[in-house]
């Protein structure tokens, strides 16, 4: 089974829409290069068909493309552990700040008895998150689980 093509819509006046559309198309091209199970291909085709049959334009179409793109990336990551470039770095950047950085800052603020110091933990958590994410991205690349496309929102 093969992933169906994305219909080319005339979006020449909307630069952001063109960028998102081209990014989604690049993601589909990369996925076509992989040997994917039929159930995954069917799910991807369902998302692409919904996008192809859409009559939305402008901002609504951009939101729909982002939604479909995110759904496909999550599906492929969950089922096959295949991810786009810098996927883990982006994910762990936020996790590092919120799950590591803020608690460290609060702890430091309590120890020093200055509660406003919780913000000092945010850059520490950011650094930890980026480091962990980059290592996971490198591991995915070494195991050939990384797509040659970077998703930018």
- Tell me, what's the pLDDT at 127? 96
- Average pLDDT score over the chain: 92
Indicate the domain borders of the chain: 1-80, 84-147
Cα–Cα distance list, 23 to 17, 28, 69, 79, 119 (Å)? 10, 9, 9, 22, 35
Q: What is the pLDDT of residues 109-144, one digit of tens each?
A: 999 998 888 888 999 999 999 999 999 999 999 999
Tens of pLDDT along 32-84? Answer: 999 999 999 999 999 999 999 988 888 898 999 999 999 999 999 999 999 99
For tokens 């309590």, the residue is 110
pLDDT reported for residue 63? 94
**pTM across the whole model:** 0.86
Q: What are phi and psi of 25, to 5 degrees?
A: -65, -40
pLDDT for the residue 7: 87
């Amino acid at each position: 089974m093969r992933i169906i093509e994305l219909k080319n819509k005339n979006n020449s006046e909307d630069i952001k829409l063109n960028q998102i559309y081209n990014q989604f198309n690049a993601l589909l091209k990369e996925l076509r290069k992989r040997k994917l199970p039929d159930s995954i291909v069917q799910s991807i085709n369902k998302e692409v068909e919904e996008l192809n049959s859409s009559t939305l334009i402008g901002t609504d179409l951009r939101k729909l493309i982002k939604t479909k793109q995110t759904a496909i990336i999550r599906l492929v990551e969950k089922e096959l552990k295949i991810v786009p470039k810098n996927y883990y770095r982006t994910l762990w950047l936020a996790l590092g700040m919120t799950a590591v950085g803020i608690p460290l800052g609060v702890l430091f603020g309590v120890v020093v008895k200055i509660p406003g110091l919780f913000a000092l933990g945010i850059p520490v958590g950011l650094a930890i998150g980026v480091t962990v994410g980059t290592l996971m991205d490198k591991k995915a690349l070494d195991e050939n689980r990384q797509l040659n496309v970077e998703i930018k929102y």
